[in-house]
Amino acid sequence: MGPRSETIFLVESRFQKEIRGFGPDAAAKIMNDIRDFQNAWYRGVTDDELYALYNFKPYKGVHRPYRLYQIYVGPNRRNLSYRAVVMFYYDGQRACWIYAFKKQRQSEPDEVNLAIARADVYWESIKGEK
């Protein structure tokens, strides 16, 4: 993986729509957490520290030319509220916020599958670009 300070973060258009759908207060807090995460990433904060701050963790079992991670974001972030899914590709030189959802009982496996499907579609649209 290249230097974190050189990672370019993008936002998939449906991601923005999903965030707005959570309401203005939640959307503002989610976007603030995402900016904070990106700033920590650029500063080279270690994965362990990112885990402690954002519960930054990979989706295991996703064997693709990219990697997917989720972080906890938004109101009551410590209380398992909202998740944002970020996709890292091209050896970490690029990242895209691909999906967001509100954690609800028993919904997480479906949400993870949807995030993977969105990432697959996004990957097909950009693969080969740099």
- CA-based nearest residue to 59, from 95, 16, 108, 15: 108
Query: In angstroms, what CA-CA distances link 29 with 14, 15, 36, 53, 81?
Result: 18, 15, 10, 15, 12
pTM confidence score: 0.89
Model confidence band, residue 130 (pLDDT cutoffs 50, 70, 90) = low
Across the range 11-37, mean pLDDT stands at 93
**Extended strands (E) in 12-89:** 57-58, 67-73, 82-89
Q: What tens digit of pLDDT does each residue of 66-123 get?
A: 999 999 998 765 556 899 999 999 888 999 999 999 887 666 788 889 999 999 999 9
CATH of domain 4-124: 3.30.2310.20
Given this model, what pLDDT does residue 77 score?
A: 58
Q: What does the pLDDT read at residue 40?
A: 96
* Domain residue extents for the chain: 4-124
What confidence score (pLDDT) does residue 106 get? 63
